[in-house]
């Protein structure tokens, strides 16, 4: 390393440390706010009438699916831009992350394991607190009231700490932006690894204790909302309305207003249309392959998880999820550093690193989505459907197979759809790991968005949302026909009679 390289590394290291400290403070504050807001959001969802509960749940989690590129593009240029007012711009960025993060905390509140210490046991502990040692008191708090709140804080902290796209487009200081820009300038791999060390240590401090808490939780998932808390219901409903307004309605409306008026100009220019089609196809292909790998890996891991298995097996099942919790940027940089080795440099010209890196990042989210959709089904329904599908009667076997598909296959499909949507808009993998001859749509949009808002770019940004949503809806609408065809062809072996 030359003197100039050493000075550059020292400057980047100081910048990374400073940016990591500011991102840590911002993530810590949003995590604390999520701990208090998420139960109100969960109360609003669970106290809806049964016929409206599913719609309320979808409305509550929709802000988490809002693409960062679209939100960043909307609030970094045009009438909503506050880039020239640093304080107001930072406050707007803080609000965007808070609105996007709280729905994740709500999922943790609804579906994380219950506390192993009951309320009555904790009350007895408080009565005897003068006879309990301090370290035992801390353990009671961690396993009692904080058993669910600590995971909410940790997950919210991770989502905010790893954010990159909105921070970059809105010119917000962040360690993710500094490292990504340094990598784009051609910094050496060893220097990148050293700069990435501080953020990874911060993530490890948050992730590892939380994983240990969740792994030890064997209690059933039970959320008890406060039926008398009318204030929580109103606050939760207001939060859902504001979050969807700011993260979905305003960006899509402002971008679509100009994009739709000039949509014909995109079709008239054959070169731009051909390039856009190629970029969309690349993004779809990479997202589809990565989502397929992530969902099958998540399905494999979940089928081997049992609350009563040995701790060593629990560790082996949880370990593959930990790299993805570090964030897309950290995973992409780690894979990028590995394939720089002389024996692996040939992978740089193949799609394997991009699919692998994206699948590693998406794996924890795939597990979350499978757990979410599985929890919505009755506990004994899958076993009963499996027995019915093995019936000797052909009609009963067909009905059992159809019921089994509705309970298990639909959960896998919607988990795949959610993971595919996240992978489609993944920017860092598309920028760092994809072969140089391929430019997926997120990377192309990100490069163009730094030059301001144009009519052609707004059209492409709008279509970037319409295309994956249309594909998912088309697949969902064709599912009943697929179910009928599959159940009609499925015959029980015992229904066949020898001639």
Its domain, for residue 461, covers 262-494
pLDDT digits (tens, 9 = 90+) for 352-410: 999 999 999 999 999 999 988 877 665 556 666 666 666 666 666 666 666 766 677 78
Look at the chain and report how many structural domains it folds into: 2
Distance between CA atoms of 169 and 82, rounded to whole angstroms? Answer: 11
Instruction: Supply the pLDDT for residue 139.
Output: 56
Q: Average pLDDT of 441-455?
A: 91
Instruction: Supply the pLDDT for residue 228.
Output: 46
- Domain closes at, from 197, 227, 261: 261
Instruction: Supply the pLDDT for residue 138.
Output: 54
pLDDT tier for residue 495 given thresholds of 50, 70 and 90: very low
106 shares its domain with 255: yes
321 domain-assigned: yes
Task: Give the CATH number for residue 95.
Answer: 1.10.3720
pLDDT tier for residue 51 given thresholds of 50, 70 and 90: confident
Distance between CA atoms of 432 and 361, rounded to whole angstroms? Answer: 14
Most confident of 4-18, 113-127, 130-144, 406-420: 406-420
Instruction: Supply the pLDDT for residue 132.
Output: 53
The share of the chain scoring above pLDDT 90, in percent, equals: 47
78 to each of 48, 254, 449, 455, 466, how far by Cα in Å? Answer: 38, 9, 12, 12, 21
- Domain closes at, from 246, 261, 276: 261
11 shares its domain with 138: yes
- Domain closes at, from 240, 261, 282: 261
pLDDT tier for residue 197 given thresholds of 50, 70 and 90: confident
120 shares its domain with 267: no
pLDDT beyond 60 at 136: no
Comparing 129 with 239, the larger pLDDT belongs to 239
Instruction: Supply the pLDDT for residue 50.
Output: 85
Sign of the four-CA dihedral 118, 124, 129, 132: negative
287 shares its domain with 151: no
Task: Give the CATH number for residue 304.
Answer: 1.10.3720.10
CB atoms within 10 A of CB 132: 14
360 shares its domain with 305: yes
State the helix-helix crossing angle for 250-261 and 68-76, rounded to 10 degrees. Answer: 80
Cα 450 to chain center, whole Å? 25
* pTM above threshold 0.75: yes
pLDDT digits (tens, 9 = 90+) for 166-184: 999 999 988 899 888 888 7
pLDDT digits (tens, 9 = 90+) for 245-266: 999 999 999 988 877 777 777 7
pLDDT beyond 90 at 160: yes
224 to each of 51, 81, 148, 229, how far by Cα in Å? Answer: 20, 41, 12, 12
Distance between CA atoms of 467 and 445, rounded to whole angstroms? Answer: 15
CB < 8 Å & 24+ apart, contacts of 397-405? 397/490, 397/491, 397/492, 397/495, 398/487, 398/488, 398/490, 398/491, 399/487, 401/486, 401/487, 401/490, 402/483, 402/484, 402/486, 402/487, 405/483, 405/486, 405/487
pLDDT beyond 90 at 421: yes
pLDDT tier for residue 496 given thresholds of 50, 70 and 90: very low
Instruction: Supply the pLDDT for residue 216.
Output: 63
pLDDT beyond 50 at 499: no
499 domain-assigned: no
pLDDT tier for residue 22 given thresholds of 50, 70 and 90: confident
Cα distance between the two ends of the chain: 81
Q: Average pLDDT of 87-113?
A: 92
For residue 104, report the phi and psi dihedrals to the nearest 5 degrees: -65, -40
pLDDT beyond 70 at 471: yes
């Amino acid at each position: 390393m030359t003197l100039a390289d050493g000075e550059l590394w020292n400057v980047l290291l100081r910048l990374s440390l400073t940016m990591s400290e500011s991102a840590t403070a911002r993530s810590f504050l949003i995590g604390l706010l999520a701990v208090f807001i998420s139960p109100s959001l969960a109360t609003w969802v669970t106290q809806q009438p049964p016929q409206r509960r599913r719609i309320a749940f979808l409305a509550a989690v929709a802000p988490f699916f809002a693409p960062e590129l679209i939100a960043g593009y909307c609030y970094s240029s045009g009438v909503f831009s506050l880039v020239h007012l640093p304080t107001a711009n930072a406050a707007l960025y803080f609000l965007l992350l808070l609105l996007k993060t709280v729905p994740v905390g709500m999922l943790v509140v609804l579906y994380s394991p219950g506390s192993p210490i009951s309320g009555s046991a904790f009350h007895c502990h408080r009565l005897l607190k003068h006879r309990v040692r301090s370290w035992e008191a801390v353990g009671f708090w961690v396993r009692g009231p904080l058993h669910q709140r600590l995971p909410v804080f940790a997950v919210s902290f991770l989502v905010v700490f790893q954010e990159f796209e909105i921070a970059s487009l809105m010119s917000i200081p962040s360690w993710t932006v500094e490292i990504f820009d340094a990598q784009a300038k051609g910094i050496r791999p060893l220097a990148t690894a050293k700069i990435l060390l501080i953020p990874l240590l911060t993530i490890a401090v948050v992730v590892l204790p939380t994983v240990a808490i969740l792994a030890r939780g064997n209690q059933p998932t039970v959320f008890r909302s406060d039926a008398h808390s009318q204030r929580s219901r109103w606050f939760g409903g207001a939060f859902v309305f504001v979050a969807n307004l700011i993260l979905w309605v305003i960006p899509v409306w402002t971008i679509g207003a100009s994009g739709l008026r000039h949509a014909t100009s995109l079709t008239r220019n054959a070169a731009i249309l051909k390039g856009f089609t190629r970029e969309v196809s690349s993004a779809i292909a990479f997202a589809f392959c990565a989502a397929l790998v992530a969902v099958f890996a998540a399905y494999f891991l979940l089928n081997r998880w049992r609350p009563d298995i040995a701790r060593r097996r629990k560790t082996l099942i949880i370990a593959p999820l930990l790299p993805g919790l570090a964030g897309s940027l950290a995973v992409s940089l780690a894979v990028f550093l590995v394939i720089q080795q002389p024996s692996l440099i040939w992978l740089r010209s193949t799609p394997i690193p991009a699919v692998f890196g994206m699948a590693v990042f998406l794996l924890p989210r795939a597990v979350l989505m499978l757990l979410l959709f599985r929890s919505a089904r009755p506990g004994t329904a899958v076993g009963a459907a499996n027995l019915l599908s093995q019936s000797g009667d052909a009609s009963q076997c067909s009905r059992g197979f159809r019921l089994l598909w509705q309970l298990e296959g639909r959960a896998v499909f919607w988990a795949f759809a959610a993971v595919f949507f996240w992978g489609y808009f993944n920017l860092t993998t598309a920028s760092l790991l994809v072969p140089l001859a391929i430019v997926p749509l997120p990377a192309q949009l990100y490069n163009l968005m730094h030059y301001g808002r144009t009519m052609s770019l707004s059209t492409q940004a709008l279509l970037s949302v319409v295309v994956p949503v249309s594909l998912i809806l088309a697949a969902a609408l064709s599912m009943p026909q697929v179910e009928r065809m599959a159940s009609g062809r499925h015959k029980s072996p015992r229904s066949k009679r020898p001639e």
